[in-house]
Amino acid sequence: MAASRLGVAVGVGLLLLTGCSSTDEADIRYASAYGYHPPLAVVGYPSTGTLGIAQELVWGIAEADPERLASLAGDKAGTRAAKATAGNWVGAFGDGARGQVTADFYDEGSKRQLVVLYFHKTQQVKAVMVTIWGNAEVGGWCVIMDEPDPREASAQPLPWIPAQPGGAGSKTPL
């Protein structure tokens, strides 16, 4: 009887341990990339999803990997616009993304959020929209990538966006 209790205890312990470890490929890739990049400074109030996708975005730009970057466009990842936008962003912001970057998260991020990236090394500013596509439980977060014209991709951000992170209190003007 003691042996069967020990067997049950060991089985439950193994179940708990394997339940706590992540074998999801995306989680492993994210954790690995996290250690190889400078930390992303954060202003505002990101959700877990918007913070994660913003980090992936900066990492893809820094690694000069337009294919990885285009994959962040969600269900539109294979479109010509997403691929061209990814290439444009790598070319325009790659040098800055390899240095210190601050992400300013505007308003709340339950379904979508404006994220303004400040590339300190190059003094560049880029505003992007992140959103949920499909079912959040299955799909996830994506970046709107619809700037196939290089001039549009590297254009000055909206006029109300401050030159420094936090300058607008992470609130879009009404």
What residue ranges do the domains of the chain occupy? 41-166
Which pLDDT does position 16 carry in this prediction? Answer: 36
User: Model-level pTM?
Assistant: 0.79
- CATH code reported for the domain at 41-166: 3.10.450
The tens digit of pLDDT for each residue in 73-114 reads 987 778 899 999 999 999 999 999 999 999 999 998 888 999
Of 44, 29, 67, give the one whose Cα is nearest residue 117: 44
Whether 63 shows a pLDDT value over 50: the answer reads yes
The tens digit of pLDDT for each residue in 3-38 reads 444 444 434 343 333 333 344 766 666 666 666 678
Question: Alpha-carbon distance 151 to 2, whole Å?
Answer: 73
Which pLDDT does position 32 carry in this prediction? Answer: 62
Q: What is the DSSP letter of 74?
A: G
Bridge partners for 125 per DSSP: 118
Which pLDDT does position 139 carry in this prediction? Answer: 54
Question: Alpha-carbon distance 66 to 73, whole Å?
Answer: 11
Residue 96: which residues within 8 A CB-CB, separation 6 or more?
119, 120, 121, 122, 124
